[in-house]
Amino acid sequence: MLRILKLLVFLLVIGFVALVGYAYLGNLAPEKTDVSEEVTLDG
């Protein structure tokens, strides 16, 4: 039982490290585009 608990903790630590690494090294920035639209004002 202790062996399974150690494996679970190990997998959780590895998963957390992988998530943090992906967040810092992955391309998570949104793409930026200019949007323009003509507006007609009734006056």
- For residues 30 and 27, give the distance between their C-alpha atoms in angstroms, rounded to a whole number: 9
Q: pLDDT over 70 for what percent of the chain?
A: 98
Q: Which pLDDT does position 23 carry in this prediction? A: 84
Q: To the nearest 10°, the Cα dihedral for 19, 22, 27, 30?
A: 10
Place of tokens 């590895």: 14
**2-34: b (≥16 Cβ within 10 Å) or e:** eeeeeeeeeeeeeeeeeeeeeeeeeeeeeeeee
pTM as predicted? 0.56
With a cut of 90, say whether residue 24 has pLDDT above it.
no
With a cut of 90, say whether residue 30 has pLDDT above it.
no
